[in-house]
Amino acid sequence: MTETPAKPKPRPAPESLPYWQAAKEHRLALPKCEDCAQFWFPPSRTCPHCLSTNFSFQTVSGRGKVFSFVTFHRVYRPAFAGDVPYVVALVELEEGPRVLTNILGMSHEDVCCEMPVEVVFDDYDEDISVPKFRPLAG
């Protein structure tokens, strides 16, 4: 019997290390510009709104809504065979940025645009935790 390969782990770039450290602590933190007060994602070395290099990572609410999504029915990598079908979504956070993620905790058939969601963390191991989303409780 063949063993299922492990899922690939994210390999953080230097500019995203604070994002991944916060995720490891089960917090969603995004870069926020100190000059124009805008959040953005993915992390980069400059603010995409005003090009400032003056920013810090701030914890955000972790709430948002599904902006768009697709359901994968095909196995592209053997490590994900047990997850098919799964949803890959673009979630628009309350703070504005959109993040690419998975929707967990419900049937793929029930996911819809504008659905309220909240962050959860998928602990791959003691070093990496990946932010994902589920339907908003309540």
Give the residue-averaged pLDDT of 104-128: 95
CB 69 within 8 A of CB 114: no
Question: Position of tokens 């290099």?
Answer: 53
**Torsion angle of the four alpha carbons 93, 44, 29, 49, in this order, in degrees rounded to the nearest 10:** -50
Query: How far apart, in whole angstroms, are the C-alpha atoms of residue 131 and residue 27?
Result: 9
The pTM (predicted TM-score) of the whole model is 0.90
Of the candidates 23, 89, 90, the one whose C-alpha atom is nearest the C-alpha of residue 59 is 23
Span 40-59, average pLDDT: 97
Mean pLDDT of 107-115: 96
Q: In the predicted model, what is the mean pLDDT of the chain?
A: 94
User: What integer pLDDT is reported at residue 3 of this predicted model?
Assistant: 74
Q: Which two tokens stand for residue 29?
A: 């933190």
pLDDT at 2: 64
